[in-house]
């Protein structure tokens, strides 16, 4: 069964925002990754040094069922953040087949930003905007983080 969580994108303030959310909700981050932790990507220009410490991904469980997730936008990768477009729904699935079915069904008539593919962080992942303008991420963890 898939779970759905909020994914928030920030303009260089993700770390401060998530420290604030942690102070309100409590708990501990289950993952914090920075852009400097990424392996070099073929065909992409080198990352600006000041972007290295920006948050690539952070996860903060806020209940037994819900994880608040987020990242910084990075213009080094051609990402332009528009406030109002900075919230996505992130679906975590139990199988690759479920990920494909949900991705294909929900993206029909929409715009695919990243097709489903294996990632360097060990997940099968894709992103799109549906035909109603809602941003989605679909994820299946090949090797779940404990």
**Residue 100: CB atoms within 10 Å:** 16
Is the sign of the CA dihedral 52, 66, 1, 104 positive or negative? Answer: negative
Q: What is the pLDDT of residues 51-80, one digit of tens each?
A: 889 999 999 999 888 999 999 987 666 667
- In this prediction the pTM is 0.73
Q: Is the pLDDT of residue 81 over 80?
A: no
Give the distance, in angstroms, between the CA of residue 80 and the centroid of all CA atoms in the same chain.
15
Least confident of 31-45, 50-64, 95-109, 130-144: 31-45
- Quick one: pLDDT band at residue 146, thresholds 50, 70, 90? very low
Q: Is the pLDDT of residue 43 over 80?
A: no
Give the whole-angstrom CA distance, residue 104 versus residue 116.
9
pLDDT of residue 54: 92
* pLDDT, mean over the chain: 88
Residue 134: what are its φ and ψ, rounded to 5°? -90, 135
In this prediction, residues 117-129 reach a mean pLDDT of: 92
């Amino acid at each position: 069964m898939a779970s759905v969580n909020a994914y928030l994108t920030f303009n260089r303030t993700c770390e401060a925002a998530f420290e604030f959310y942690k102070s309100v909700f409590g708990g501990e981050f289950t993952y914090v990754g920075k852009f400097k932790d990424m392996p070099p990507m073929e065909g992409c220009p080198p990352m600006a040094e000041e972007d290295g410490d920006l948050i690539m991904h952070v996860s903060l469980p806020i209940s037994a069922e819900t994880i608040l997730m987020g990242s910084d936008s990075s213009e080094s990768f051609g990402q332009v953040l528009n406030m109002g477009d900075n919230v996505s729904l992130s679906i975590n699935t139990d199988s690759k087949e479920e990920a494909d079915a949900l991705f294909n069904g929900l993206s029909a008539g929409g715009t695919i930003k990243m097709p489903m593919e294996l990632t360097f962080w060990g997940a099968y992942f894709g992103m799109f905007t549906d035909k109603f303008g809602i941003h989605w991420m679909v994820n299946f963890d090949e090797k779940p983080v404990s």
